[in-house]
Amino acid sequence: MVYSVDKVMRGPLSSLIIGRDDILVPIRRALGMHSHRHGSPSAYSKAAYSAFDPGREAIVAQTYILRKLVENPRNFTNPVDETFRIVNEEFSSFEPAAFKKDILITKSYNNLAVEINYDRTWSSEKIGIPIFTEEDSFAGTALFESALSSMGILPTITYDGNIFISPGHGTVDENGELIEDRMRLGIKALFGAIGIVCKYAT
C-alpha cells in the first residue's frame, strides 16, 4: 500500500509504502532504489553520501507525528469536526440556493479536511458551479483560489468539483484547537467567492 502521509499528518511531504519485503524489494529494485547506499533498511552510508538529506528530516517528523496520532487521535480529528459544523452553519445561507441540493459536504479524516463536492450541480440541463482543474490551480486561473488570495486569505484546494477546507495555517492555535472566528471568516469568504463567480458564470 502506498499512502501519502503529509496530508493526514500536517507534516513534511512524505509517504509510506507498507507491505511485505518479498513484494517491496522488487519494486524498489525496479525503481533503482534498493541498495545499501540508497533505499534499504541498512542505508546508513546515505548520511555520508549527502551533507543535507531532506529525507532524514521528513522521517524524524513523520515518526513524531505518527506517534502523536496514535497517542491522541482527537487532536487531529476535533478541528475537522468543528470545521464541519461551521461549514454546515454557513452553508445554510449559501447563494445561489438553486445549487444547494446538489452539493455534498463530508468529513475527510484521511485528508484532515472537510470536503465540499459540487460536481452534481452539472447533473441537470442547467449550467452548474464552474469546475476548475488542478492545472488551473498551478496557473492561477482557479477563480475561487484567486478570489480568496485577493481577500488576503490563504486559499484552499479547489479543483475537479471538490473543495477541501483544512484546519491549520492560522486557523488552529498552538495546542491544535480550532480558532473558530478565523475559520468562520475563511468559510464565509469562500462561499462569497463561489456566489460571485456563479453570478457572472451563469
Looking at the structure, do residues 141 and 177 belong to the same domain, yes or no? Answer: yes
How long is the chain? 202
* Total tally of structural domains belonging to the chain: 2
Q: How far is CA 91 from the centre of its chain?
A: 20
56-64 long-range contacts (CB < 8 A, ≥24 apart) are 57/12, 58/11, 58/12, 58/13, 58/14, 59/14, 61/9, 61/11, 61/12, 61/14, 62/5, 62/9, 62/11, 62/12, 62/14, 62/16
Q: Which of 13, 40, 71 is the last residue of a domain?
A: 71
Tens-digit pLDDT profile for residues 85-101: 999 999 999 988 889 99
Percent over 70 (pLDDT), the chain: 77
Looking at the structure, do residues 78 and 121 belong to the same domain, yes or no? Answer: yes
Looking at the structure, do residues 118 and 191 belong to the same domain, yes or no? Answer: yes
Looking at the structure, do residues 158 and 97 belong to the same domain, yes or no? Answer: yes
pLDDT at 136: 92
pTM of the model: 0.74
Looking at the structure, do residues 28 and 119 belong to the same domain, yes or no? Answer: no
Decide if pLDDT at 38 tops 70: no
- Domain span holding position 61: 2-71
